[in-house]
Amino acid sequence: MFLAATLAVILIAVVVFSRRGVPLGVGLTAGSLVLGLSGDVGPATIAGVFLRTLVRPDVVSLALVVLGISWMGRVMSQSGAFTNLLTDARSLVRNQLVLLSGFPALLSMLTIPGGAIMSAGMVGEIGDELGMQAQEKAACNVLFRHLWYFVYMVHPMYAMIEGISGVRILTMLQLAIGPVALSWLVGLKTCARRGKPAVHNGNGSRLTAAGRLAYASLPILVVIVTRGILGMNFVLAVSLGLATAVLYGWHEAPDRPRLRDQVSTRLRTRPDLWLGAAAVGVMMFQEFIRLTGVHQSLAGLITERGIPLPITALLVPLVLGMASGSNLAAVGMSVPLFVAVVPPALLARYVVFVYTCSMAGYMISPVHLCQVLSCQHFGTTQERVVRQMLPALLTLVAASASLLWI
């Protein structure tokens, strides 16, 4: 009971400090050490586990993958690849509702805090053509950006969950695609219900636009094919994607500089190092959960109180996502708990359910930067935007919950 209560206090503290600017990796690592001391684990053992976790091959690999994906996204942004993606998508797709949901999804490949503001202008333009209200446009901008996270195999979150749980990304994708598709349809119905799917008169050949779109997407496609289809080592696959992004920037540069100079310039675009630190912090947290046996205390508490595991898997990530305004924090703190207590045969389904619940809580969080910036851009309130997104999010959670019994 004491360890379970300590764990709850640690999780609350990590959320509070992360909202005050303390990096998640720092908070989780400190929480891991506190948990170790609370579990009557000696200082020498704690130091040994700490050092061994830092150099474990799977932990190093996960940190490199997360950093590599972040790095690739920044290089693609700097080289103009994302701009070209959006331009060619508009030439290729004429249906306004597809564009309305597609632009935030495309820009979600650039994983930066508050990134929804980048698609707000285009969503606003299409929304005006469809006669949508401010809260509907803001809801579309937030909802369709984050729903894509479940489908985008190269998203750092999937890499992190695979590293924590051992569940393959392709398995999670296969389980998530149905709930995401249902949520997407409900979101179009509830957020864009005032508009009609008008046709945009794009310019140029669709075949040409499709070729340019595939070319601009090449770094992402390289990672998806080499990792998702060929099963290549994740670090190597991401490295190839990063190299492809650098070559794309060199090929698209107006003056075509020397390749060596271009490589040097692009690689100076540093990745988000705190993202790598967060990955290490999550793995450290998971290791100390196992070391102290707190997951066994938690499982016993759930059994004694008669709380069904699905209800716990719903509430814990949902509350953490709402409180922290960070999907990374919610996933990093909740997935290790359920990996430790869920039967192996059901692990993949529970991991997807926990992920969707954390995302739902994250999207309606009052401190979620994407939502805050979207509300400011469109001149509406968070309460109205949350109400607008609610049917789609309830559909997402309900459909994901159904996987537990199918």
Domain ranges of the chain: 60-272+308-402
Q: Give phi and psi for 87, each to the nearest 5.
A: -60, -45
Q: Which residues contact 167 (CB under 8 A, 6 or more apart)?
A: 161, 347, 348, 351
Residue 299: is its pLDDT beyond 60? no
Note the pLDDT of residue 185.
92
Q: Of the spans 17-21, 46-50, 348-352, 366-370, which averages the highest pLDDT?
A: 348-352
β-bridge partners, 199: 95
The SS3 call for residue 29 is helix
Residue 259: is its pLDDT beyond 60? no
The SS3 call for residue 322 is helix
Rounded CA-CA distance 43/34 in Å is 11
Note the pLDDT of residue 186.
93
Record the tokens describing residue 322, joined without a space: 């709402």
Note the pLDDT of residue 83.
75
Task: Kindly state the average pLDDT of the residues 39-58.
Answer: 85
Residue 112: is its pLDDT beyond 80? no
Note the pLDDT of residue 257.
58
Burial of residue 22 (number of CB atoms within 10 Å: 0-12, 13-18, 19+): middle
Q: Which amino acid belongs to residue 293?
A: G
Query: Nearest-CA neighbor of 219 among 196, 198, 248?
Result: 248
Residue 216: is its pLDDT beyond 80? yes
Going from the C-alpha of 228 to that of each of 169, 172, 214, the distances in angstroms are 8, 12, 17
Note the pLDDT of residue 49.
86
Least confident stretch, 73-82, 134-143, 309-318:
73-82
Dihedral sign for Cα 279, 285, 289, 294, please.
negative
Buried b (16+ CB within 10 A) or exposed e, 363-394: bbbebbbbbbbbbebbebebebbbebbbebbe
Task: Kindly state the average pLDDT of the residues 94-99.
Answer: 76
Residue 263: is its pLDDT beyond 70? no
The SS3 call for residue 176 is helix
The rounded mean pLDDT for the chain is: 79
Query: Nearest-CA neighbor of 70 among 276, 280, 214?
Result: 276
Note the pLDDT of residue 270.
63
Note the pLDDT of residue 303.
52
Residue 194: is its pLDDT beyond 60? no
Task: Kindly state the average pLDDT of the residues 27-50.
Answer: 84
